[in-house]
Structure formats: structure tokens, C-alpha cells
């Protein structure tokens, strides 16, 4: 099965009932598959007039209580940024799949890249935190998309599936699990203030049409949901909670593969470049070379680095100019070697192997 189709199937298995979007290469097969399948499962597919409207419709649908998603690529992702900030501020669960292609601008529509990894974290204005997953196989396009809905409901945030053209268009065997675990959003208890959060820092969800009479605004709001845009303390408390509800849980959100934890040299990868790293490890058969493969990139769980107690060097191949390498550098005193790759093709395993030889 193709990666993009597996993504759509994973969403359907997770109970996604709404897709709003706009066609864009190389993500279009996701919309096409949802257009084919959603009406047959009682769901709704709507092709909107642009990506701004696509994410807007998804957020609106989510407020009816439905699991909702969109899929896009670079130019469409850029258009979505303002409304993604709205989803963060209003604590709207939604899933956004980005099949990354070469940028800036129209760039390379049919070639792979990982150039939007910082944009998904910081692209909308203001301070906030989100979750970004990075599938490295067709199987993970299914599994991680399904899991994205659980994380979106649990934390009431947009969750990003940050794939790329290679994984999206790759064809591999997919094992469809018998069941997909669902961890749905918890409804607001009647009588509680809609934006007052308990210890989880995530308030219960007051879906529209259930008698809550909730006012939802992108303005800074108090626990009643009422605009309160000039109070320094209300703003500080709200934004701090929105960031902390994700960041304080980063070690439990974290998901990764660890190979050779005693290694001195450790590759750190996410998404498609992981395939090149796996080939290198397969070819060289050295247990002093390790691999940390991140399935969750944001929030970045720096504790994962200490799983490699003997690490002297981290090598970070990315299909960008070193976006996550920067984040790793922030958290370690070991040597970090970014291996940027632009142009749309994967790192050649022999180039990575040569880099290891040069280090020796």
C-alpha cells in the first residue's frame, strides 16, 4: 500500500469523521482516499476553496465533537499557520498531515524534504507548544496517524504528522491491526468552567450542541471562555498552561527506537533519513555505532539523549539544513554533526558510512 493511502486508512481506523482540505502535491492521495471512503462510513469529506478554509472547517467540525483532519504540503501548510494558532488558543483537537516537499515557496512539489520541522513547531505567532510525529514507513503512516488522533484529543491541540514525499509515495506491506486503541477527549463536566483545567492542565471538552453554551474565542480568555485581552496575569496564566500541558508531558509523549545504547557514535534521525541510517547500521555491523530514531519530534524529549551514556558524537542526517540538529545542540555538550541534504533525494548510505570512517 502507498504511504498516503495508509495514512488515510489509519485515520479512518481511528474514527476520523471529517476531512476538510485542498489538493496539493504530494499529499493529494490522502484527500482522494478520504473522499472515497468517508461518505461510506458516515463521515464527511469537503474540498474547501483553499488551505485556510480547510483547516478552518476542520476546527469547526472538531467543535461538534468529531475527530477531524486535513492533509497538505508546504505552501498549504504556510497558509494554515494563523488558524493553527487559533486551534492552539482555543484548545481544539485536530490532526494535520504534512507530506513535506522542497521549499521555500513552490520549490520542489514532487520531491521530499523535512524543511517544515521548525515551522510546525513555531510557525504561528505567539508562544505555544504542539506535538509532531514523524513516520518512517508505510506502517507508521497508518499507526502514527491513528495515534495522532489520541494525542490531539488527550491534549486538545493540533497534532502534526510530519511525513515527506518519500514516505507518502512509497509502497510497502501494511499490517492492519485488528483494533486501534482510542483515547477520546474527555467531555466537560456540567457545571465546571469550560477553560478551567485540573492537574492534567487540559480542561474537559464542551462540544457544541450539548447544552454547554460555551463561548470559544481566539482572544485571550478567562476560565469562563470570555475575552479578557488586557489582563497581563490572565494572558500569562493561559499561555503558560497551553505550553506546559504539552511540555510537562514530553517524556510520556516521547516515542523512539534505540539501537546500541552503549555506542560512542550515535545517529539521530526521524522520518525518511532513518531508512538510510538503518542501511548503514546493517552494512557496517558495528556495535559502537548507535541509532536514536524519533517517532515523536515535538515536544523534544531531551532525556532521550541520555539513553546513550557513552555517546561522544551525535550525527543528525536531515532533509533540511539542520533544523532538529539545532535543537539537539541545545540539550547536549557532546559533538553534534548535522548532515544536511537538500534537493529531494535521500542521503546515500555510503556517504553516511564514509562520514563514520572520517570520524574514526
Partner 1 sequence: MSYDEWFRDDRLPHIYCAGCGNGTVINCTLSAVDQMGWTKDETVFVSGIGCSSRAPGYIVADSLHTTHGRAIAFATGIKMANPDLRVIVFTGDGDLAAIGGNHFIHACRRNIDLTVVCMNNMIYGMTGGQGSPTTPQGALSTTTPYGSAEAAFDLCGLAAAAGANYVARYTSYHVKELIRAVRTGLETPGFSFIEALVQCPTNFGRRNKFRQVMDQIEFFKSHALLVQKADRMREEGKKIPDDMIVIGELARRNRPPLGVRK
Give contact residues for partner 1 (rule: CB under 8 A). 17-18, 20, 44, 46, 48-50, 52-53, 56-66, 68, 82-83, 86, 90, 206, 208-219, 224, 226-227
Least distance (Å) between residue 118 CB and partner 1: 22
Residue 47 is placed in which grid cell? 474540498
Q: What is the DSSP letter of 302?
A: G
How far apart (Å, rounded) are the C-alpha atoms in residues 360 and 348?
A: 19
Q: Which residues lie closer than 8 Å to 11 by C-beta, 6 or more apart?
A: 19, 34, 69, 95, 145, 146, 149
Residue 3 is placed in which grid cell? 504511504
Distance of CA 12 to the CA centre of its chain: 18
**Ramachandran area for residue 163 (φ above 0: left; ψ -120 to 50: alpha; else beta):** beta
Length in residues, the chain? 360
Least distance (Å) between residue 228 CB and partner 1: 11
Which is closer to partner 1, CB of 206 or CB of 299? Answer: 206
Is the CB of residue 297 less than 8 Å from the CB of residue 275?
A: no
Is the CB of residue 152 less than 8 Å from the CB of residue 96?
A: no
What is the pairing mode between strands 44-47 and 68-72? unpaired
Amino acid at each position: 500500500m502507498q504511504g498516503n493511502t495508509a495514512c488515510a486508512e489509519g485515520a479512518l481506523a481511528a474514527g476520523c469523521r471529517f476531512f476538510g482540505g485542498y489538493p496539493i502535491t504530494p499529499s493529494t492521495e490522502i484527500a482522494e482516499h478520504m473522499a472515497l471512503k468517508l461518505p461510506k462510513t458516515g463521515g464527511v469529506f469537503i474540498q474547501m476553496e483553499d488551505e485556510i478554509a480547510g483547516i478552518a472547517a476542520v476546527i469547526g467540525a472538531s467543535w461538534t465533537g468529531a475527530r477531524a483532519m486535513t492533509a497538505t504540503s508546504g505552501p498549504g501548510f504556510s497558509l494554515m499557520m494563523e488558524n493553527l494558532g487559533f486551534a492552539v488558543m482555543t484548545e481544539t483537537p485536530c490532526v494535520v498531515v504534512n507530506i513535506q516537499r522542497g521549499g521555500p515557496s513552490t520549490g520542489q512539489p514532487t520531491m521530499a524534504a523535512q524543511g517544515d520541522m521548525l515551522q510546525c513547531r513555531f510557525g504561528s505567532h505567539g508562544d505555544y507548544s504542539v506535538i509532531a510525529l514523524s513516520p518512517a514507513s508505510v506502517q507508521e503512516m497508518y499507526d502514527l496517524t491513528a495515534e495522532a488522533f489520541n494525542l490531539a484529543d488527550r491534549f486538545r491541540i493540533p497534532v502534526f504528522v510530519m511525513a515527506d514525499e518519500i514516505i507518502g509515495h512509497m509502497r510497502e506491506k501494511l499490517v492492519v491491526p485488528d483494533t486501534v486503541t482510542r483515547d477520546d477527549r474527555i467531555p466537560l463536566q456540567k457545571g465546571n468552567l469550560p477553560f478551567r483545567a485540573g492537574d492534567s492542565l487540559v480542561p474537559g471538552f464542551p462540544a457544541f450542541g450539548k447544552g454547554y453554551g460555551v463561548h470559544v474565542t481566539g482572544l485571550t480568555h478567562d476560565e469562563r471562555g470570555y475575552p479578557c485581552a488586557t489582563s497581563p496575569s490572565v494572558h500569562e496564566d493561559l499561555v503558560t498552561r497551553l505550553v506546559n500541558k504539552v511540555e510537562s508531558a514530553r517524556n510520556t509523549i516521547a516515542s523512539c527506537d534505540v539501537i546500541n545504547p552503549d555506542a560512542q557514535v550515535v545517529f539521530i534521525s526521524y522520518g525518511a533519513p532513518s531508512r538510510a541510517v538503518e542501511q548503514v547500521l546493517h552494512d557496517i555491523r558495528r556495535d559502537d555505532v548507535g541509532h536514536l530514531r524519533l517517532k515523536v519530534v515535538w515536544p523534544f524529549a531531551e532525556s532521550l539523549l541520555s539513553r546513550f551514556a557513552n555517546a561522544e558524537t551525535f550525527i543528525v542526517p536531515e532533509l533540511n539544513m539542520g533544523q532538529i540538529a539545532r535543537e539537539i545542540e541545545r540539550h547536549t555538550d557532546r559533538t553534534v554533526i548535522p548532515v544536511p541534504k537538500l534537493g529531494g533525494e535521500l542521503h546515500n548510505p555510503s556517504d553516511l558510512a564514509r562520514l563514520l570512517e572520517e570520524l574514526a
